[in-house]
């Protein structure tokens, strides 16, 4: 167990609550809400992961990584649903974190990975 366990548990609970409370937009897309899932969800997961991997390396255990990835993928699925799309997200925290570091833009990463919305 790492020192990040409590932060990870909060993220896991938030993503579960967001998933359970989600109501599809009547007229998709709901870009504002989609962006909030990226900023306040995916971004927070990436932040915890990057914090744990820089400086004094934190060894996330299997349970922590599972909770991080479930939360991450919940928020990507909710992001897509804001556009009227349904996806089964199976991204790793590492791949998403690397892309966010490379692009500096979580919205671009979401579009690249989920293909939502379609590029024009």
The predicted pLDDT at position 85 comes to 98
pTM: 0.95
Share of residues in the chain with pLDDT > 90 (%): 91
User: pLDDT value at position 2?
Assistant: 83
Among 10-19, 56-65, 71-80, 88-97, the minimum mean pLDDT is found in 56-65
**Percentage of the chain modeled with pLDDT above 70:** 99
Q: Which two tokens stand for residue 61?
A: 């255990």
Three-state secondary structure readout of the chain: CCCCHHHHHHHHHHHHHHHHHCCCCCCCCCHHHHHHHHHHHHHHHHHHHHHHHCCCCCCCCHHHHHHHHHHHHHHHHHHHHHCCCCCCCCCCHHHHHHHHHHHCCHHHHHHHHHCCCCCC
Cα torsion 96, 52, 81, 12: sign: positive
pLDDT at 48 over 80: yes
Per-residue pLDDT at 56 exceeds 90: no
* pLDDT-based confidence at residue 119 (cuts at 50, 70, 90): confident
Question: Per the omega criterion (within 30 degrees of 0), is the bond before 14 cis?
Answer: no
State the pLDDT at residue 107: 98
């Amino acid at each position: 167990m790492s020192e990040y366990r409590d932060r990870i548990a909060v993220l896991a609970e938030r993503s579960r609550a967001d998933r359970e409370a989600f109501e599809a937009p009547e007229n998709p897309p709901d870009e504002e809400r989609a962006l909030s899932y990226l900023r306040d969800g995916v971004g927070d997961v990436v932040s915890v992961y990057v914090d744990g991997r820089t400086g004094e390396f934190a060894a996330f255990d299997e349970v922590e990584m599972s909770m991080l990835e479930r939360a991450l993928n919940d928020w990507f699925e909710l992001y897509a649903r804001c556009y009227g799309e349904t996806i089964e997200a199976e991204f790793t925290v590492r791949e998403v974190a690397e892309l966010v570091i490379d692009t500096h833009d979580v919205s671009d990463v979401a579009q690249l990975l989920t293909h939502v919305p379609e590029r024009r």
